[in-house]
Amino acid sequence: MKNSPQLPRARGIAKVTDLIPMHDDSIRQAGAAIPPGNWAAHDPFLSMMNDRFKKGAFGPHPHRGIETITYILDGSLRHQDSRGGQGVLTSGDAQWMTAGGGVEHLEDPVDDKPVHVLQLWLNLSAADKLTPSRYQDLRGDQMPVRQEPGADVRVFSGASGDVRGPALNHVPVTMVELRLSAGATIIQELPGSYNGFVYVIEGEGRFGRDGIAAGRHQTLWLERTPTDIPTTVSVTATTPLRALLFAGEPLHEPVVARGPFVMNTEQQIEEAYADYQAGHFGG
């Protein structure tokens, strides 16, 4: 007799957190949706900033050992790097930058108007820390969309229902943008092994197995489940709702972070600084 497939398990919400103010001056206002440092609980994610900034907020800066996923909430963002990559992103677009072995880049608004972004830092496994750098500019209006009554699910990475996103992954990650009319519900399937969260951009809703209420600028972490059981996450809009759902395969590796570099050991961090100072990050 064949074993029958396991039914998906509905996930609850483990915790809800508010945006933590981090920076506020004339050219930059930023808050942490995911503060850095709680590596095991957030694995494979490292941090996420809600960042509104004008020209001059950031100068050229390097990265190694991570990927950055930048989602444009409003405005236009120009990027360029030490290995020849460049482009412009606008509202609804996402950029998946693999820093890998090392890249120096610059992010700035296209004009004098501020740009508003979410930037998520995603860890890379020890085997991929020094992988070649690359950019994936994921245009929002070109992403495949899963449509359900009152709901559009734009799939950047991974899958939602039968719709699969185009992003290439080192660490398996689901990234979907949810847009729901008031009263609409969407059910998102995820592997049981994935750790994940929902970030509410606009509106209010009820989330997870127990219908936990949350709203604008709140982050909801999914409960962890047995890794061999498929799971589902439910989202119901109580007002028109826009949110991002991220979930990924944990790495279960040591994390040593210093400034723009995230590696596995202190020695690797020292090597990253030495390589950068020696001009090994391109250019």
Which CATH architecture group holds 9-277? Sandwich (2.60)
Q: How many CB atoms lie within 10 A of CB 153?
A: 22
Residue appearing with tokens 């496994």 = 125
In the chain, % of residues over pLDDT 90: 86
pLDDT at 1: 43
pLDDT of 148 higher than 90:
yes
Domain boundaries, the chain: 9-277
pLDDT band at 283 (very low <50, low <70, confident <90, very high): low
> Residue 272: which H helix or E strand, with range?
helix 266-277
Peptide bond before residue 114 is cis, with ω within 30 degrees of 0: no
Distance (Å, whole) CA 64 – CA 277: 13
Whether 82 shows a pLDDT value over 90: the answer reads: no
What is the C-alpha separation between 108 and 54, in angstroms, rounded?
7
Higher pLDDT, 224 or 283: 224
| Helix, strand, coil shares, percent, the chain, to 5 | 10, 55, 40
Alpha-carbon distance of 141 to 148, in angstroms, equals: 18
What average pLDDT does the chain have? Answer: 94
Contact 166, 207 (CB under 8 A): no
